[in-house]
Structure 1
């Protein structure tokens, strides 16, 4: 991470996976905690709008967060929550919206990240699995680096390889790989199970990347 973010001021680090249950949220929480313990002003943002989890781990409210901010119900200042850790703040995902992909693609997402870069030294973003939904590609276009989490015996090899190829072709500044839950003697990818995500029908990574490029031009 230090290598990929050394030239970025207040880097945005997107933590994702190709499939559910690979441990991306666990990794995002730990990464944010490490930076805060290093006395870096850190904010952990819950952009997994379909399956919010972060607020539970910190015992915080999920009544407002990213989703209520994106629809204009709350201001950025109102959704940032303090934690018991001095340098760590949280923005939870908020109530589950009916249209997470459309909400994420709004201009308010870029506005949020710009604001956070002015207030914090590290921005860690927990997202939906990038291999299943399109909104994570839009977020990836605004990140300084991506941390892709894989879990042996859970992550489908074909899904992981396709996801990695798509990330590389998207022009992302840097991609790091975190192998989670390694067991002795594990040397292959197993077949995972189905969880609570539904892949976007007719999702188009290119459509979202074009929107991102237009918004930033």
Structure 2
């Protein structure tokens, strides 16, 4: 997510804060979008799961809930690493984002079940990168003559 928004150039991030090497205020970055701030991931630590289970993570979640109206936490795909499930336990709600045509339905169903087991409210699935051409069948005015008027075939007599 941090790559989608231009933010302050910072070397420190979430891993720096969680490991005790930075203050929370120093890892919150402003972006070029008004009222949108982010915490970049920072350096990949050798023990990310351990960092998410320490008291700094709980303190951070409690603090940002007081500071901001909405908090969006972008995680690795659930099922690949335990990190997403740990973070989901601290969330008020979860959303599963998946790319059209790249994941089998049973994997999406399993990921949904894992998110529901975290205890957070599951809001639904966002399907992105949908091929708009595939959805044209049956669209208004694009299938058969529905919505079209026929021209009169009267011939002119001279």
- Structure 1, unmatched stretches of 5+, are 1-24, 26-53, 187-217
Q: Are positions 1:122 and 2:70 aligned together?
A: yes
Which 4+ runs in 1 deviate beyond 3 A?
Answer: none
RMSD, aligned CA: 1.7
Q: CA deviation at 1:100?
A: 1.1
Considering fraction of residues, name the structure with more strand: 1
Q: Deviations over 1:12-62 (max 9, x none)?
A: xxxxxxxxxxxxx4xxxxxxxxxxxxxxxxxxxxxxxxxxxx147425434
CA separation in 2, counterparts of 1:174 and 1:161?
Answer: 12
What's the secondary structure of 1:72's corresponding residue? coil
Larger radius of gyration: 2
Q: Deviations over 1:136-177 (max 9, x none)?
A: 101101101111011121112222111112222332223321
Question: What's 2:109 paired with?
Answer: 161
What's the secondary structure of 1:127's corresponding residue? coil
Size of the aligned set, in residue pairs, is 134
Answer 1 or 2: higher relative contact order, Cα 8 Å, separation at least 6.
1
Task: Tell me the TM-score normalized by structure 2.
Answer: 0.77
Task: Tell me the TM-score normalized by structure 1.
Answer: 0.57
- Structure 2, unmatched stretches of 5+, are 136-158
CA separation in 1, counterparts of 2:3 and 2:134?
Answer: 35
